[in-house]
């Protein structure tokens, strides 16, 4: 608002009788304070400390409850004093009696299925929780942000585990730990990943890390096989191809030789030239767009970038991949 008021002030000094209005989507003024859509806005700005509240100015002027956010409400008194100095009582600017008056927002009228909107908003809040947790682990946000997110999630009574792919991913990591003698895990690190795909029904597909594949790579491979209806026992990529790629990484002096997501996608594409099942898996990759995915450990760019490019909504527990690290 400060920029707008500065522009209006300077316009009027030059004799231009300008005004302004704000087109903002969130918060939606005529939805309840703790509607998941409005709470999702708080989650999106938890790192800068924005929060929603009832617009007392609007309630006083019209007797109507309206939801706004703290910065606009806090600054409205200042804005109103500026308006009083640059506009007479018949000026349209003088008609603003609340910060909600300044906004143009018809978003509520576009909601035709409130249950769907509530569910989607709740999922976005959960994704934000994991995003901030990861940023905290990487040193990009503060503990205060995590505390704000905790209170935000309490408003709609959700826990991180309400994201359906979280527990399966964690269980996959624990299963890798239990099966370490069978070749699961890699150098004492046990990772899990899970993807929710939409076939005839919603199905959660998991993957775990090994000396051959990252957990995310295994999950992608398993998911495409399920979507393409390729039996689990069929090798879409031959072990010889995987071993050859691993040998190439060794010859390059790389310490980590198991295949990441980019490498497994390259292997699927190459195998598709001569193998019909690999071709089926390659051709259904587009169906992963919009699917929910969770991993237990921080990913490198070879895993994360392709997942984002495929359109998956990825979250992570952001555990550091240290050997024998506590998985709890």
- Asked if 173 and 83 sit in the same domain, the reply is no
In a domain, 70, yes or no: yes
In a domain, 140, yes or no: yes
CB 194 within 8 A of CB 315: no
- Asked if 95 and 209 sit in the same domain, the reply is no
In a domain, 280, yes or no: yes
- Asked if 136 and 265 sit in the same domain, the reply is no
Q: What is the helix (H) or strand (E) element at residue 193, kind and residue range?
A: strand 192-198
In a domain, 272, yes or no: yes
- Asked if 118 and 267 sit in the same domain, the reply is no
- Asked if 46 and 142 sit in the same domain, the reply is yes
Query: d(Cα 65, Cα 35) in Å, to the nearest integer?
Result: 14
Query: d(Cα 31, Cα 272) in Å, to the nearest integer?
Result: 50
Query: d(Cα 285, Cα 187) in Å, to the nearest integer?
Result: 30
Query: d(Cα 59, Cα 190) in Å, to the nearest integer?
Result: 55
Phi-psi region of 255 (alpha: psi -120 to 50; beta: other; left: phi over 0): alpha
pLDDT value of position 328? 38
Number of domains composing the chain: 2
Beta bridge mates, 189: 186
Ordered alpha helix ranges (H), 31-188 = 36-44, 56-62, 70-86, 99-102, 114-137, 143-155, 166-178
Give the N- to C-terminal CA distance of the chain in Å, as an integer.
46
- Asked if 58 and 102 sit in the same domain, the reply is yes
In a domain, 257, yes or no: yes
Distances (CA, A) of 66 to 38, 42, 188: 12, 16, 55
Hunting for tokens 């929603």 — which residue is that? 52
Query: d(Cα 300, Cα 305) in Å, to the nearest integer?
Result: 8
pLDDT per residue, tens digit, the chain (328 aa), is: 666 778 888 888 888 888 888 898 999 999 999 999 999 999 999 999 999 999 999 999 999 999 999 999 999 998 898 888 888 888 888 899 999 999 999 999 999 999 999 999 999 999 999 999 999 999 999 999 999 999 999 999 999 999 999 999 999 999 999 999 988 998 899 999 999 998 767 899 999 999 899 999 999 999 999 999 999 999 999 888 888 888 998 899 887 788 999 999 999 999 999 999 999 999 999 999 999 999 999 998 889 999 999 999 999 999 998 776 544 3
Q: Which domain CATH number covers 71? A: 1.20.1570.10
Core vs surface per residue 140-175: b (16+ CB within 10 A) or e: ebeeebbebbeebbebbebebebbebbbbbbebbbe
- Asked if 211 and 225 sit in the same domain, the reply is yes
In a domain, 328, yes or no: no
Tokens coding 26: 């969130």
- Asked if 193 and 144 sit in the same domain, the reply is no
- Asked if 134 and 22 sit in the same domain, the reply is yes
End-of-domain residue from the set 93, 124, 159: 159
End-of-domain residue from the set 132, 159, 186: 159
pLDDT value of position 296? 97
- Asked if 78 and 203 sit in the same domain, the reply is no
- Asked if 9 and 100 sit in the same domain, the reply is yes
End-of-domain residue from the set 159, 188, 206: 159
Q: Which domain CATH number covers 229? A: 3.40.140.40
Angle formed by the axes of helices 2-13 and 70-86, nearest 10°? 10
pLDDT value of position 19? 85
- Asked if 277 and 213 sit in the same domain, the reply is yes
pLDDT value of position 1? 63
In a domain, 324, yes or no: no
Look up the domain containing 65 and give its range.
1-159
pLDDT value of position 327? 42
In a domain, 253, yes or no: yes
CB 108 within 8 A of CB 28: yes
């Amino acid at each position: 608002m400060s920029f707008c008021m500065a522009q209006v002030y300077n316009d009027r000094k030059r004799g231009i009788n300008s005004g302004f209005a704000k087109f903002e989507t969130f918060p939606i003024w005529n939805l309840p304070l703790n509607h998941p859509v409005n709470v999702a806005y708080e989650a999106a700005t938890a790192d800068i400390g924005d929060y929603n509240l009832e617009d007392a100015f609007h309630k006083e002027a019209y007797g109507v409850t309206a939801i706004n956010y703290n910065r606009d409400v806090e600054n409205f008194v200042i804005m109103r004093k500026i308006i009083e100095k640059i506009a007479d009582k018949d000026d349209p600017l003088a008609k603003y009696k609340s910060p909600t008056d300044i906004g143009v927002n018809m978003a509520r009228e576009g909601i035709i299925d409130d249950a769907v909107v509530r569910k989607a908003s709740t999922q976005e809040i959960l994704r934000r929780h994991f995003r901030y947790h990861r940023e905290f682990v990487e040193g990009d946000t503060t503990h205060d942000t995590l505390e704000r997110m905790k209170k935000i999630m309490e408003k709609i009574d959700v826990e991180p585990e309400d994201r359906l792919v979280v527990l399966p991913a964690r269980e996959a990591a624990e299963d890798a730990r239990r099966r370490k003698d069978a070749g699961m895990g890699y150098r004492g690190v046990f990772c899990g990943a899970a993807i929710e795909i939409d076939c005839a029904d919603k199905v959660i597909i998991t993957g775990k890390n090994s000396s051959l594949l990252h957990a995310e790579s295994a999950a992608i491979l398993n998911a495409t096989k399920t979507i393409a209806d390729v039996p689990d026992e069929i090798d879409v990529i031959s072990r010889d191809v995987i071993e050859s790629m691993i040998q190439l990484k060794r010859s390059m002096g790389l310490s980590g030789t198991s295949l990441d997501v980019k490498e497994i996608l390259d292997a699927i594409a190459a195998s598709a030239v001569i193998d019909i099942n690999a071709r089926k898996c390659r051709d259904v990759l587009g169906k992963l767009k919009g699917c929910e995915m969770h991993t237990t450990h921080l990913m490198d760019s070879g895993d994360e970038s392709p997942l984002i490019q495929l359109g998956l909504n990825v979250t992570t527990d952001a555990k550091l991949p240290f050997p024998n690290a506590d998985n709890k």
